[in-house]
Structure 1
Amino acid sequence: MRAERLLQIIIRLQNSERLTAEQLATELHVSVRTILRDMDALSLVGIPVYSARGKHGGWSLLEGFSKQLAYLKPEELQSLLALPHDQVMHDLGIPKEAEYVREKLLNALPHAAIEQTKVIWERIYIDTGTWRETAIQDQPYFDVIQDAVFTNCKLKIHYVGHDQQKKERTLEPLGLVVKQKNWYLIAMRDGEIRNYRLSRIVFAEILEDTFVRPLHFQLKDYWLQSKTDFIKRLPRYDVQVRIANTSLHRLTYQPIFIHDYSIKENEGVASLLDLTFQSKQEAVEWILGFNSEVEIIEPKEVKVAVLNAAKRIVALYEEKDK
């Protein structure tokens, strides 16, 4: 897989004075062209690789690079020791056994810092999964898309939109983002940056044409702003209810429908709440789940909708009991 191969290239170059693209291709069982793309990718992310021509030419790391880790402080190394969720590592082509990389990082530290760093490692674990893991959506073209991102090659995809229509797109891929195990491709199309969910990409092909990345594009900054803009575009449906205080704790337990809430007044045994949903239907379904613990104050149309839903439920079971 791509990420593991890039790591193997760095390790091999650290342990060798110089290696040709042909030697690396043979050792890693890929084509010379793939190795050249990998070298471009390493260079783009700041790894100082360079090539020398001639009879004894080949690829090398800038002298002294392999020793630079020795100057990292233990607190700086924390970010490197925090591994992501196993599924994220799997998607990136990094096997679970790649945890040994942390051992290599530890060995690169001054001896006095190793014990302190191990304390961090043994006491912090980051799990970005959910309590109930759901089935992973198929992403058969992940490797192709990842290669295009690293090599600045244009990408042709077939994408299934929300309308379930399949569309062909030619993109300039800028980066990949994972959110709750869902991967998104950030790419330029027709001069605009857009987001594409990888599970909706049913075909992907790297094109020969390359492109120039936007000079000031920062993936993290773009994604955070994209999230903010998306939330602002979501529809709002406001409801006011009175809820029994014994049920207040359920507001923060798996809030599937509620997007926002605030307690306006505590009335002793009950509280007055302002709730925000995305639609009236979400509000109705959420309220029905509380039985008589929630009383609707406004709007009236929600009262009517809940009453009608309750009547249908009663009618259903009365009919079955006959």
Structure 2
Amino acid sequence: MRADRLISILLLLQNRGKLTTKELAYELEVNPRTIHRDMDALSSAGFPVIADRGTSGGWRLLESYKTNLTGLKGEEIKSLFLLPSVQLLKDLGISEDWFAAREKLLASLPASSHGKAQDVWDRIHIDTSSWRQSPEKVTAFTILKESLWQNKKLHIHYERADGERRERTVSPLGLVAKSSTWYFIAGVDQDIRTYRASRILSAQLTEQTFERPADFNLAAVWEQSSQQFIQSLPAYQVEAELSSSILSRIRFTGRFVQQIQIEDPLPNGWIPASFCFDTEEEAAQYILGFGRQIRIVSPKRLKDIIYTSAKSLVEMLENDS
């Protein structure tokens, strides 16, 4: 609703001081033209919205203005009391602070709102951990956290995915949790890099200071980095036909599968499907595990690889008997 969006704009400007049209559009998930129309509406209604021009420009409120539109709605109260991942809070060392802040926030609300908060705790719980994955140990996590607030460059020793060890001086910009895995975002020269925090073997603060980029937005940088990573992943496409007997479990066994697309059954009862794997080897291991319940249509080379693997397995079993 537009009225809610106008209130959100006022609160964003009051809390953050100055925001560009692009930043407001990103926060409110609308296009920049909508923001310009909203600003015209706020100005016409008498709100002191000021547009600063130039490279460091943006929208702001007159310094003396404070809005009183801070009453919380029922759904807003519920959203504030959603419990984030307890493990991630512990990683950051703020779990006790978070629970204390929650109790203070609850105490500040009218008694009629207390039940809404309790409803959230009783009905919704967020757990970002996986079923089998063990939490990664991040040796330098304490210094990584501290470095983000000091605007001092950090000298790190890290291990690449291929096992090669390197060292580098970086400008700390942010920490991001993906599921239960932490990533460290840092500036290197004129570039922004992403490091898996568990691969940073050691870190040491330097006395060299730096200035954070004025337009740096951690969420936007992570989104862009994630998309680039996904697009860079290798893709090995397989066309196959499935037995109906495995249809109910085919989506839950794909440790290596990026994507599965299933079509309508053929007249002979077999079901066409498209698989996408990272590598040929992973495709062979996955499909071989289903035995005679998956027929490979293409590529032909994969058929030969699976045939050779199955033949070798049979020979080994015969020799062991």
Q: Normalising by structure 1, what TM-score?
A: 0.74
- Give the structure 1 partner of residue 110 of structure 2: 110
> Would the aligned equivalents of 1:74 and 1:113 in 2 still touch at CA under 8 Å?
yes
Q: Could you tell me the percent identity over the aligned residues?
A: 37
Matched, 1:223 2:222: yes
Aligned to 1:162, the other structure's residue is in SS state: coil
Counterparts of 1:242 and 1:135, CA distance in 2: 35
The amino acid across from 2:145 in the alignment is: Q
Deviations 1:155-178 (A, max 9, x none): 110011123122111111110001
Q: Structure 1 stretch 206-215 or stretch 80-89: which is displaced more?
A: 80-89
Counterparts of 1:93 and 1:200, CA distance in 2: 20
- Give the structure 1 partner of residue 293 of structure 2: 293
> Would the aligned equivalents of 2:280 and 2:302 in 1 still touch at CA under 8 Å?
yes
Counterparts of 2:248 and 2:171, CA distance in 1: 47
Counterparts of 2:232 and 2:211, CA distance in 1: 31
> Would the aligned equivalents of 1:71 and 1:109 in 2 still touch at CA under 8 Å?
no
Counterparts of 1:186 and 1:101, CA distance in 2: 27
Counterparts of 1:188 and 1:197, CA distance in 2: 14
- Give the structure 2 partner of residue 85 of structure 1: 85
* Cα offset, 1:259, TM superposition: 1.0
Judged with a 3 Å threshold, the aligned counterparts in structure 2 of structure 1 residues 79 and 213 are, in CA distance, closer, same or farther, namely farther
The amino acid across from 2:237 in the alignment is: D
Q: Structure 1 stretch 254-263 or stretch 276-285: which is displaced more?
A: 254-263
* Cα offset, 1:194, TM superposition: 0.7
- Give the structure 2 partner of residue 277 of structure 1: 277
Counterparts of 1:318 and 1:259, CA distance in 2: 35
Deviations 1:140-187 (A, max 9, x none): 211111111122221110011123122111111110001121100011
> Would the aligned equivalents of 2:83 and 2:121 in 1 still touch at CA under 8 Å?
no
In the TM superposition, 1:86-235 aligns within 5 A as 86-95=86-95, 98-132=98-132, 134-235=133-234
Judged with a 3 Å threshold, the aligned counterparts in structure 2 of structure 1 residues 97 and 209 are, in CA distance, closer, same or farther, namely closer
> Would the aligned equivalents of 2:78 and 2:116 in 1 still touch at CA under 8 Å?
no
- Give the structure 2 partner of residue 7 of structure 1: none
Q: Structure 1 stretch 225-234 or stretch 205-214: which is displaced more?
A: 205-214
Q: Structure 1 stretch 157-166 or stretch 310-319: which is displaced more?
A: 157-166
* Cα offset, 1:288, TM superposition: 0.6
CA RMSD of aligned residues (A): 2.3
Counterparts of 1:119 and 1:106, CA distance in 2: 13
The amino acid across from 1:232 in the alignment is: Q
* Cα offset, 1:69, TM superposition: 12
Deviations 1:199-235 (A, max 9, x none): 1111101122221111111111111111111111111
Matched, 1:317 2:317: yes
> Would the aligned equivalents of 1:173 and 1:188 in 2 still touch at CA under 8 Å?
yes
Counterparts of 1:249 and 1:150, CA distance in 2: 50
* Cα offset, 1:96, TM superposition: 5.9
Aligned residue pairs total 257
Q: Normalising by structure 2, what TM-score?
A: 0.74
Deviations 1:229-282 (A, max 9, x none): 111111111111110112112222142111112224412532011111111111
> Would the aligned equivalents of 2:254 and 2:286 in 1 still touch at CA under 8 Å?
no
> Would the aligned equivalents of 2:151 and 2:212 in 1 still touch at CA under 8 Å?
yes
